[in-house]
């Protein structure tokens, strides 16, 4: 019998307990032994099917040699960081869905895990139930990874989809996402792109091998996005999606940023709707490879956590592939990246042409909406400084 503990009993913690119970037979067949949740750390005891397993004392879990794997689903950094360090130091494997902790302290926690000869795994931290970190680090290991981008936040994608498809109000769509267990405890992290920022950092850390700190990453969410721009874009054959994007720069540096983009309809990312996420990884040998699935929610996220638990227990777990250098040098802002830009301005086509030369007009309905030729973010900002800009987004050019 292999015993594990779960820290926290929110959406993901509950999902992990359910998956371990409901899929017990499949899991046992693969592990060769039954897997059992022995303890669940909670702050407040509550009634329910897991009542007998609850404790509010982490020290008991830490001292229990029968517990081989700890699944941290507390979220945030403070207590989660403290308990993760103590669990690893006690020689237990740790598995998590906590993107904030991995993005901010992952490098240090991975080093501690290596010193203790245990695993620290976090497949569920990016893309929920989508296997993406494992393929990135293992199946694509023979590539130089040049770019990673994707729809990485289920809540904002759900909100955008509901607003566009059914005309739902932002606040109602957000409430629905919260009720379905997709949103963060503080949904500002979803709406303002912070959650996407943490996930693109983790992907970039693994893809490029160097730490990118979330606070280095320019981040713009969907809070200021207007449905008017979404509709203009749609009529012109584009979908608007919040993307996290990380690119290896020609000089050897790296950049990453988060912002809403216009996605051409022939790019499969444009069709990613509801809570679904998709991650595109461009390797120099593979070209683009896309991963698609449910990016949030109880059971999809738990599926990735429990698979990591099972991997920790394998005879030869992956440890070396899942690491990166703490060196943050070489990070640059995305200002030099060239793409077409979408603008909606209060002004005429003549104003647009004076600022940008040739443009592709998308709408002249009182205001002017247009696409520029490919140009860097810095040039777009410089050339538009005399215009009254109502909206500006990059286009994801292939």
Report the catalytic residues.
199
Considering beta carbons, is residue 200 or 337 the nearer one to ligand HSE?
200
Query: How many whole angstroms separate alpha carbon 95 and alpha carbon 347?
Result: 53
Q: State the Rg of the chain over Cα.
A: 22
- The three-class DSSP label of residue 344 is strand
Per rule CB under 6 A, is residue 229 in the interface with ligand HSE? no
Strand-pair partners of 394: 261, 341
Does position 293 interact with ligand HSE (CB under 6 A)? The reply is no
- Name the burial class of residue 179, with classes exposed (0-12), middle (13-18) and buried (19+) by CB atoms within 10 angstroms of its CB: exposed
CA 42 to chain centre: 26
Q: Which is nearer to ligand HSE, 154 or 347 (CB)?
A: 154
Of 17-25, 105-113, 152-160, 281-289, the window that binds ligand HSE (rule: CB under 6 A) is 152-160
Residue 72 found at the interface with ligand HSE (CB under 6 A) = no
Does residue 153 belong to the site contacting ligand HSE (CB under 6 A)?
yes
Task: Tell which positions 111-130 bind ligand HSE, by CB under 6 A.
Answer: 128
Does position 104 interact with ligand HSE (CB under 6 A)? The reply is no
Here the tokens at position 229 are: 């721009």
> Applying CB under 6 A, does 302 fall inside the site for ligand HSE?
no
Closest to ligand HSE by CB, 260 vs 347, is: 260
279 is a contact residue toward ligand HSE (CB under 6 A): no
Residues 392, 259: Cα–Cα separation, whole Å: 10
Contacts with 166 (C-beta within 8 Å, 6 or more apart), sequence order: none
* Residue 281: partners with Cβ closer than 8 Å, 6 or more residues away: 132, 135, 136, 140, 145, 147, 148, 203, 207, 288, 289, 290, 291
Is there a contact between 176 and 278 (Cβ–Cβ < 8 Å)? Answer: no
Choosing from 120, 182, 238, 276, the residue that interacts with ligand HSE (CB under 6 A) is 182
Number of residues that bind ligand HSE (CB under 6 A): 11
- Contact window for ligand HSE (CB under 6 A) among 25-33, 47-55, 180-188, 359-367: 180-188
- Contact range with ligand HSE by CB under 6 A, out of 88-96, 179-187, 208-216, 338-346: 179-187
Q: Is 184 in the site for ligand HSE (CB under 6 A)?
A: yes
Residues that bind ligand HSE (CB under 6 A): 128, 153-155, 182-184, 190, 195, 295-296
């Amino acid at each position: 019998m292999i015993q594990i503990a779960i820290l926290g009993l929110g959406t993901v913690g509950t999902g992990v307990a359910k998956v371990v119970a409901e899929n017990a037979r499949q899991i046992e067949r693969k592990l060769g032994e039954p897997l059992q949740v022995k303890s669940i750390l909670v702050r407040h005891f509550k009634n329910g099917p897991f009542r007998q397993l609850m404790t509010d004392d982490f020290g008991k879990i830490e001292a229990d040699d029968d517990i081989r794997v700890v699944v941290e689903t507390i979220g945030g950094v403070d207590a989660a960081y403290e308990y993760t360090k103590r669990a690893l130091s006690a020689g237990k494997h740790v598995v998590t869905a906590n993107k904030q902790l991995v993005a901010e302290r992952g490098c240090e926690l991975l080093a501690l895990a290596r010193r203790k000869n245990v695993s620290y795994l976090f497949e569920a931290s990016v893309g929920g139930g989508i296997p993406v970190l494992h393929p990135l680090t293992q199946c694509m290991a023979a590539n130089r990874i040049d770019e990673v981008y994707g729809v990485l936040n289920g809540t904002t994608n759900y909100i955008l989809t509901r607003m566009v498809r059914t005309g739902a109000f932002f606040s109602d769509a957000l409430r629905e996402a919260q009720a379905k267990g997709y949103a963060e405890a503080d949904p500002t992290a979803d709406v303002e792109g912070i959650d996407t920022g943490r996930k693109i950092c983790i992907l970039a850390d693994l893809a490029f091998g160097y730490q990118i700190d979330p606070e280095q990453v320019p981040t713009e969410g969907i809070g200021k996005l207007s449905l008017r721009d979404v509709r203009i874009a749609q009529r012109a054959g584009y979908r608007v999606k919040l993307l996290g994007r990380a690119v290896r720069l020609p000089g050897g540096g790296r950049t990453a940023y988060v912002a809403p983009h216009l996605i051409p309809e022939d790019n499969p990312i444009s069709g990613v709707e509801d809570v679904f996420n998709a991650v595109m990884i461009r390797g120099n040998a593979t070209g683009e490879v896309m991963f698609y699935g449910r990016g949030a929610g109880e059971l999809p996220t738990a599926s990735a956590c429990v698979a990591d638990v099972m991997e920790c227990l394998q005879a030869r777990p992956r440890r070396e592939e899942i690491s990166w250098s703490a060196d943050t040098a070489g990070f640059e802002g995305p200002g030099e990246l060239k793409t077409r830009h979408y603008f909606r301005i209060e002004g005429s086509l003549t104003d647009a042409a004076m600022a940008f030369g040739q443009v592709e007009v998308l709408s002249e309905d009182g205001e002017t909406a247009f696409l520029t030729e490919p140009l860097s973010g810095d040039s777009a900002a410089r050339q538009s400084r005399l215009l009254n800009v109502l909206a500006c987004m990059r286009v994801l050019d292939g």
